[in-house]
Amino acid sequence: MSENSQFRFGAATGVGSMPGGDAREAVKTVTGSFEDFPFLPELPARGPGADMIGRTAGMLVELYARVEPSGWRIGDRPGRDTKRARSWLGEDLDALEEYTQGYEGPLKVQAVGPWTLAAQLELRNGEVALSDPGACRDLAASLAEGLRLHLAEVSRRVPGARLVLQLDEPSLTDVLRGRVRSASGYRTHRAVDRQLVESGLRDVFEVHDGGQVVVHSCAPDVPFALLRRAGAQAISFDFSLLTERDDETIGEAVESGTRLFTGVVPGTDGPLSDPAGSVMGVRTLWRRLGLRPGLLAEAVTVTPACGLAGASPQYARTAYAHCVRAAKSLADNPE
């Protein structure tokens, strides 16, 4: 195992989004559920600016975005949408500070990564930033500076925490395979060179120098090897989307010290199996890869498959408690 593995991640945590619009209630649920690995919740039900893209757009430095009928578009100055996004983030941070007094341990914060942001944020001409290499560079630089300020603010409010930065990259595979649609919808933007994608990610990861970075995607075909080369210490994914084609890269990732955030609990309301049943697939994967069972607790954090924005508040609480119990099952019975 590499020195990355010496950092103590918690055994279970959430992905990011939650139902409802009450920041204090959301943070209370998170800190009560994940005592050793809480996270800063996102509440997209509040509307534009609380959604994944809008929240991160509000963090950008010297770039501003507003809501158009087609989505978020870069503009000339901060408007009401930017102000709303920043106001809600401030509200969330106030709640986090209130419920983490004296906390010492890993604490996760989430933002959209540079390539998903480039695939979603529109330029003034209506095409996404991905269509313009210069715009992609400017966007990544603005994001890096915004994340630096955000991490510093969270550190100031929760001084005992060891921050984990999660970058959400659900569009990354589409960017790599040339599947991001143009504004007209009749064509797709050209695939971005893998080395350029890797370099862009690395530049943003470096903003959290010395800290832990996890990349999350609940899309199929997560590029594990690329993310590892770019410097991600952990990769978060929907476990149900794995295929045996992923075995080799996952085995290499675990052996190099990369943490796996295995999304094994459904993200929307429905019946749950017993906790041991939820992680049965993880144990099966371990056996298939020939990995040491005792490594499971060191290498795996249990999460929902994706964010819980579409779930009911009651299910969110149940799902989080289930993640904690499933992680305990893995640790207690790794075989």
Q: What percent of the chain has pLDDT over 90?
A: 90
The span from the CA of 255 to the CA of 247, in Å, is: 12
Is the pLDDT reported for residue 277 higher than 70? yes
Which whole number is the average pLDDT over 201-227? Answer: 95
The pLDDT value recorded for residue 5 is 42
Q: What are the tens digits of pLDDT across the range 279-290? A: 999 999 999 999
pLDDT at 3: 42
pLDDT tens per residue across span 110-161: 999 999 999 999 999 999 999 999 999 999 999 999 999 999 999 999 999 9
Indicate if the pLDDT at residue 98 is higher than 50: yes
Mapping DSSP onto H, E and C, the string for 62-102 reads CCEEEEECCEEEEECCCCHHHHHHHHHHHHHHHHHHHHCCC
In this predicted structure, the answer to whether residue 2 has a pLDDT above a threshold of 50 is no
Which residue from 181, 191, 171, 68 is spatially nearest to 113, judged by alpha carbons?
A: 171
Q: Report the share of the chain in percent with pLDDT over 70.
A: 98
Average pLDDT, the chain: 94
Closest CA to 118 of 132, 97, 99, 104: 132
**Position 166 confidence tier, pLDDT thresholds 50, 70, 90:** very high
Average pLDDT over residues 217-246: 95
pLDDT score of 186: 86
Res 1 pLDDT > 50: no
Does the pLDDT value for residue 267 go beyond 50? yes
Residue 207 near residue 101 (C-beta atoms within 8 A): no
Alpha carbon distance 94, 88 (integer Å) = 10
In this structure, what DSSP letter does residue 294 have?
G
pLDDT of residue 147: 98
Q: Strand, helix or coil at 282? A: helix
195, with CB counted inside 10 A (0-12, 13-18, 19+), is exposed
Instruction: Answer yes or no: is pLDDT of 4 > 80.
Output: no
Report d(CA 261, CA 238) in Å as an integer: 9
Residue 96, pLDDT > 90, answer yes
- pLDDT tens string 38-83: 999 999 999 999 999 999 999 999 999 999 999 999 988 888 999 9
pLDDT, residue 304, reads: 98
Q: What is the mean pLDDT of residues 257-268?
A: 96
Least Cα distance to 200 among 191, 192, 211 occurs for: 192
Predicted confidence at residue 6, as pLDDT, reads 57
Work out the burial of residue 309: count CB atoms within 10 Å of its CB; fewer than 13 is exposed, 13-18 middle, 19 or more buried.
buried
- For residue 211 the two structure tokens come to 């800290």
Interval 317-335: pLDDT, tens: 999 999 999 999 999 987 7
- pTM of the full structure: 0.95
Q: Residue 222: what pLDDT?
A: 95
Question: Given the structure tokens 């930033």, which residue do they identify?
Answer: 129
pLDDT (0 to 100) of residue 8:
83
